[in-house]
Amino acid sequence: MSASRSALFRQLTVCRSVCVALCIAVHKLFDAYCGSTYAQSGEDLLILSNMHGCSSNYYVDVGCNHPIKYSNTYLLYQMGWRGLCLDANEYLVRQFRRVRPKDRVDWVCVGGKAGEITFSISRDPALSHVVGNTLVNSRASDEDRRIVIAVKTLQQLFEENNVPAQFGLLSIDLEGHDFIALKSFDIRRWRPYLIVIEIHGLDLEICAENEIVAYLRNAGYKIVCFDANNAIFQNMDAANNC
């Protein structure tokens, strides 16, 4: 059994582990075309389908949440990718470090400037958010507790962790804080091949009016996929050079 499969089963009860193992075996036995996705809406498969020969296998996962469930990067991790993962929920960071030891994982809130901020841990950890943000999901108001946490910009974190100027994937999922994080680094200096970012309510017929789409278009990125929650943008300069 691979290390990644072992990590998955360590998170489950014995009974649940047996069920999962049987499901995997049945899928492989009866459906040769069965694929696996860990992301909420198959974003990991969309990421892979839009890499088009890009040579980098480094990612930065901002608001990484759970190491496996709804992860945009766990499938990539299984394939040998490695990178920097960031989250403001210390419990999830500890899980990440245990399940994905080859990633660098930091407990930090990403924002527009360094300092401290109040962060709400929701009962559904995936909906945790910076206090004061417009909530994109009403269930996010079901709060478990609040914490005060250090804030760093992506610029700081990229410099501290020696993130390469050219890398494969930047994934941002911060429950309404996404654009602030996106603008917190010099996008002319760091050029991820793909950027996956949460955008709610995007109308594709007038998507150019969206502030994130407009910002990334001006930076040389083109929207290539949208799945109702997340948009995927490709660095057009890098795509033309592959």
Supply the pLDDT for residue 176: 81
In this structure, the answer to whether residues 43 and 5 fall within a common structural domain is no
Query: Which residue, among 93, 88, 52, 57, has the nearest Cα to 75 in the 3D structure?
Result: 57
Supply the pLDDT for residue 130: 77
H or E segment and range at residue 85? strand 82-87
Query: Which residue, among 97, 37, 41, has the nearest Cα to 66 in the 3D structure?
Result: 97
Task: Please say if the pLDDT value at position 9 is more than 50.
Answer: no
In this structure, the answer to whether residues 184 and 207 fall within a common structural domain is yes
The string over 26-63, giving b where at least 16 C-beta atoms fall within 10 Å of a residue's C-beta and e elsewhere, is eeeeeeeeeeebbbbebbbebbeebbeebebebbbbbb
In this structure, the answer to whether residues 102 and 170 fall within a common structural domain is yes
pLDDT-derived band at 132 (thresholds 50, 70, 90) equals: low
In this structure, the answer to whether residues 231 and 194 fall within a common structural domain is yes
In this structure, the answer to whether residues 101 and 166 fall within a common structural domain is yes
* Helices and strands, counts by H and E, the chain: 9, 11
Instruction: Report pLDDT digits (tens) over 75-88.
Output: 999 999 999 999 99
In this structure, the answer to whether residues 187 and 198 fall within a common structural domain is yes
Does 135 map to a domain?
A: no
Domain span holding position 216? 37-107+161-241
- The arrangement of strands across the sheet holding 221-226 comes to 104-107, 82-87, 58-62, 166-172, 191-198, 230-235, 221-226
Instruction: Report pLDDT digits (tens) over 172-183.
Output: 998 788 999 999
Does 30 map to a domain?
A: yes
Does 127 map to a domain?
A: no
What CATH number corresponds to the domain at position 186?
3.40.50.150
Residues found in the chain = 242
In this structure, the answer to whether residues 86 and 101 fall within a common structural domain is yes
Those residues whose C-beta lies under 8 Å from the C-beta of residue 14, and which sit 6 or more positions away, are: none
pTM equals 0.80
Does 71 map to a domain?
A: yes
DSSP label of 12: S
In this structure, the answer to whether residues 84 and 14 fall within a common structural domain is no
Task: Please say if the pLDDT value at position 94 is more than 90.
Answer: yes
Q: How many structural domains are present in the chain? A: 2
Does 134 map to a domain?
A: no
CB 163 within 8 A of CB 59: no
In this structure, the answer to whether residues 99 and 175 fall within a common structural domain is yes
Q: Which residue has the higher pLDDT, 233 or 53?
A: 233
Question: Average pLDDT over the chain, rounded to whole?
Answer: 84
In this structure, the answer to whether residues 15 and 95 fall within a common structural domain is no
Instruction: Report pLDDT digits (tens) over 148-169.
Output: 989 999 999 999 999 999 999 9
In this structure, the answer to whether residues 182 and 236 fall within a common structural domain is yes
Does 103 map to a domain?
A: yes
Mean pLDDT confidence for 116-129: 79
Mean pLDDT confidence for 122-144: 65
pLDDT-derived band at 201 (thresholds 50, 70, 90) equals: confident
Burial class (CB in 10 A: 0-12, 13-18, 19+), 87: buried
In this structure, the answer to whether residues 103 and 174 fall within a common structural domain is yes
**Angle at CA 46, nearest 5°, toward 124 and 136?**
30
